[in-house]
Chains A and B, each alone.
Chain A
Amino acid sequence: MTTTATTTEITTVSEGAPSPTDGGTRIGWAVADTLTVTWRNLIAYTRIPEFLFFSTVQPIMFVLLFRYVFGGAIHAPGGGPYVDYLMAGIFVQSVAFGSISTAVGLAEDLQKGLLERFRALPMARVAVLAGRTTADLVRNVFVVGIITGVGYAVGFRIGAGVPAFVLSLVLVLLFAYAMSWGFAVIGLSAPNSETAQVMAFPVLFPLVFASPAFVPVNSMPGWLQAFAVHQPVGVIIIATRALENGGPTAGPVVQALVWCAGLLVVFVPFAIRQYRRRA
């Protein structure tokens, strides 16, 4: 064994790792490394059973719950079918809760020493975070696709044309991506993955439920209404709903984009800083 190993070792030394300076640009390597980390995270997701559950079964249960159990008692404003009102809320709620997996995944990698190992590799620093958030974006594309199918099966119909609907999903995905960076900060601050999950929940819960996700806000007390329509999850839901059901879109969509941009501007550098400190 040793003799053959030795000869290969010597004769093929020239194919060794190129340094970051030979061939390719820094940005080229950063993109390549990000794709490698994305690939790794996506493969890992397909091998964790909880992935299937949290990504698909939970949103489907929410669709069925609100469509058939609570929905009959809720009157959608404007008098259209409740399921059409509901779907915007389901989309945003699903990706928002899904972004917890960014926190859990990073906390796990940190705990298992993988981030430490990555630090000794000649890879781009940013690829660990960018690869994680990109994988979660891909996962969300899949989730949003499934929910659209389930929604259709229970009677949801697009009210404002396919281009506007596609735009609404792009907005949902952009928001999910921005949220992932926020949860990356939590994942990198938590002592372990269980705690990351526990820390993420109380942040998300009020944002998702004190919002127009499932019920019109006019039944809420005034102060809560003000919160519900101005906080980021509420704003994204309003814009998504306008794009899916028709109605004035320009104002809500601009507000939603401003929130997404704001979250990214704050959380991308924050997450990178936290990564430098912890990993």
Chain B
Amino acid sequence: MTHAIEAENLEKTFGGTVRALDGVSFAVEEGTVFGLLGPNGAGKTTAVRVLTTIVRPDAGAARVLGHDVVAEAGRVRSLIGLAGQYAAVDENLTGRENIFMVGRLNHLARDVATKRSGELLERFGLADAGDRTLKTYSGGMRRRLDLAAALVARPAVLFLDEPTTGLDLRSRNDLWEMIEGLVDGGTTVLLTTQYLEEADRLAHRVAVVDHGHVIAEGTPERLKADLGATVLAVGLSDPSTAARAAEILDKVGTKSPSIDGVSIELPVDDGPRSAMEALRLLDTQGVIPTTFVLREPSLDDVFLALTGKRTETDDEDADPSAADGSRGRKGARAGATTGGPR
């Protein structure tokens, strides 16, 4: 099978010091979904900007459908669609006008662009809102419109930069279904995300990025297998009880529990069975937990498993200023409770 996207040792430094990409390589097979998974500031957007010809890499090379993103930028642009992280739409135009404009700038004939605008509004559930200006759209509607506009010229390769960050659960689910529909139609998709759940649901393969490096690559199943399918999180009344509970539960999970203040977490294979065993063990030792939760693993857990550190999560996940480069990287706050994007 041929590769729709190839990145080889991409490097990009901003302002002489921020190494946004520090030798990133990966390849995406045609007709598949590839997920770039990483925390804020990992370099995901920069990778997308290089692949979509917006910025030139300092070193390394990248090809889209065999065309070099620097030497044949014009050709690449006519093959791709991009829905950026912050839904770059024109607020003063209606939904229909936005799609039409992108269609015309993709050199579709006027009548084709008009027809496509109508079709896409329909398909993304925006038919009723199509003739309102974007000022009146909700966040979820903007993302859908941005995606619709990215599809106007039927791109063979689609780039989606954090398509669901900042959306509520329902809008996120809607968008996931729409993306799945596209892939059924044969489009190659590169998607970036901070959510393990999103990568797991949509991507055939995932690369985990951190500090401009790919630190792991494989199928989502493979990544999750390394983690254990479920995470058991137990809260105790005080740190010494937490330490005791961690000792008691040492053999229950696939890895030893991690302790963070009064709470401990451990990856487990078989959620309910492990939970029962854990409760039984705690009970026999007279330890009563204050909270007891089974949850899906998050990006944070992937990082913990891969690097032994938690992600350095920025406070404002969906804040556009996060891309302005003003935030330098601080030292790793190992063991800090960052919550992780959920």
Residues in A lying within 8 Å of B, measured CB to CB: 1-2, 5-6, 8-10, 12-13, 15-20, 24, 29, 32-33, 36-37, 39-40, 43-44, 47-48, 112-114, 116-123, 127
Residues of chain A within 8 A (CB-CB) of B108 are 15, 17
Q: Is the CB of B90 within 8 A of A40?
A: yes
Q: Is the CB of A120 within 8 A of B80?
A: yes
Q: Is the CB of A9 within 8 A of B92?
A: no
Closest to A9 in B: B185
17 more contacts with CB within 8 A, not counting A33-B105, A44-B90, A116-B88, are A1-B123, A1-B177, A9-B187, A10-B186, A17-B107, A20-B74, A20-B78, A36-B104, A43-B93, A43-B97, A113-B88, A116-B84, A120-B53, A120-B82, A121-B77, A122-B78, A123-B107
Residues of chain A within 8 A (CB-CB) of B77 are 120-122
Q: How far is the CA of A48 from the CA of B181 in the complex (A)?
A: 37
Q: Is the CB of A9 within 8 A of B97?
A: no
Per-residue contact bits, chain B 59-97, to A (CB 8 Å; 1 contact, 0 not) = 000000000000000110110101010101111110001
Residues of chain B within 8 A (CB-CB) of A40 are 90, 93, 97, 101
Number of residue pairs A-B, CB distance < 8 angstroms: 109
B154: contacting residue among A6, A16, A44, CB under 8 A: A16
Residues of chain B within 8 A (CB-CB) of A122 are 74, 77-78, 105-107
Among B49, B92, B93, the most chain A Cβ lie within 10 Å of the Cβ of: B92
Q: How far is the CA of A256 from the CA of B80 in the complex (A)?
A: 47
Min CB gap A190→B, angstroms: 15
Q: How far is the CA of A232 from the CA of B86 in the complex (A)?
A: 41
Question: Is B20 engaged at the interface, CB distance under 8 Å to the other chain?
Answer: no
Q: Is the CB of A113 within 8 A of B86?
A: yes
Contacts A1-B123, A114-B88, A117-B88 given; does A18 touch B107 at CB 8 Å = yes
Q: Is the CB of A9 within 8 A of B154?
A: yes
Min CB gap B21→A, angstroms: 17
Q: How far is the CA of A116 from the CA of B159 in the complex (A)?
A: 14
Could you give 5 example pairs across A and B, Cβ below 8 Å?
Answer: A1-B123, A5-B123, A5-B182, A112-B88, A118-B105
Question: Is B112 engaged at the interface, CB distance under 8 Å to the other chain?
Answer: yes
Q: How far is the CA of A162 from the CA of B49 in the complex (A)?
A: 54
Residues of chain A within 8 A (CB-CB) of B53 are 119-120
A32: contacting residue among B75, B89, B90, B107, CB under 8 A: B107
Question: Is B180 engaged at the interface, CB distance under 8 Å to the other chain?
Answer: yes
B105: contacting residue among A8, A15, A36, A48, CB under 8 A: A36
Per-residue contact bits, chain B 147-187, to A (CB 8 Å; 1 contact, 0 not) = 00000011100000000000000000000010011101111
Q: Is the CB of A18 within 8 A of B78?
A: yes
Q: How far is the CA of A12 from the CA of B180 in the complex (A)?
A: 19
Contacts A8-B119, A16-B153, A20-B107 given; does A2 touch B181 at CB 8 Å = yes
Min CB gap A62→B, angstroms: 27
Closest to B74 in A: A20
Q: Is the CB of B181 within 8 A of A19?
A: no
Residues in B lying within 8 Å of A, measured CB to CB: 49, 52-54, 74-75, 77-78, 80, 82, 84, 86, 88-93, 97, 101-102, 104-108, 112, 119, 123, 133, 153-155, 177, 180-182, 184-187, 320
Min CB gap B171→A, angstroms: 16
A6: contacting residue among B88, B90, B153, B181, CB under 8 A: B181
Min CB gap A39→B, angstroms: 8
Residues of chain A within 8 A (CB-CB) of B182 are 5, 9
Q: How far is the CA of A62 from the CA of B254 in the complex (A)?
A: 78
Min CB gap B116→A, angstroms: 9
Contacts A10-B185, A16-B154, A20-B74 given; does A47 touch B92 at CB 8 Å = yes
Residues of chain B within 8 A (CB-CB) of A12 are 154
Residues of chain A within 8 A (CB-CB) of B75 are 19
Min CB gap B27→A, angstroms: 21
Q: How far is the CA of A37 from the CA of B133 in the complex (A)?
A: 17
Q: What 6 A-B pairs are tightest by C-beta distance, nearest first?
A: A9-B185, A17-B153, A113-B88, A44-B92, A2-B181, A122-B77
Residues of chain B within 8 A (CB-CB) of A17 are 78, 106-108, 153-155
Q: Is the CB of A123 within 8 A of B112?
A: no
Q: Is the CB of B93 within 8 A of A44?
A: yes
B112: contacting residue among A6, A15, A20, A48, CB under 8 A: A15
Residues of chain B within 8 A (CB-CB) of A8 are 119
Q: How far is the CA of A220 from the CA of B28 in the complex (A)?
A: 71
Closest to B108 in A: A17
Closest to A13 in B: B154
Q: How far is the CA of A45 from the CA of B186 in the complex (A)?
A: 39
Q: Is the CB of A2 within 8 A of B93?
A: no
Q: How far is the CA of A10 from the CA of B268 in the complex (A)?
A: 43
Q: Is the CB of B153 within 8 A of A29?
A: no
B102: contacting residue among A1, A15, A121, CB under 8 A: A121
Q: How far is the CA of A10 from the CA of B184 in the complex (A)?
A: 10
Q: How far is the CA of A114 from the CA of B87 in the complex (A)?
A: 9
Min CB gap A22→B, angstroms: 9
Min CB gap B153→A, angstroms: 4
Q: How far is the CA of A19 from the CA of B74 in the complex (A)?
A: 8
Q: How far is the CA of A113 from the CA of B84 in the complex (A)?
A: 9
B54: contacting residue among A6, A16, A36, A116, CB under 8 A: A116
Q: How far is the CA of A121 from the CA of B53 in the complex (A)?
A: 9
Min CB gap B55→A, angstroms: 9
Contacts A20-B107, A40-B90 given; does A1 touch B154 at CB 8 Å = no
Residues of chain A within 8 A (CB-CB) of B101 are 36, 39-40
Residues of chain A within 8 A (CB-CB) of B74 are 19-20, 122
Residues of chain A within 8 A (CB-CB) of B133 are 47
Residues of chain A within 8 A (CB-CB) of B78 are 17-20, 122
Residues of chain A within 8 A (CB-CB) of B104 are 32-33, 36
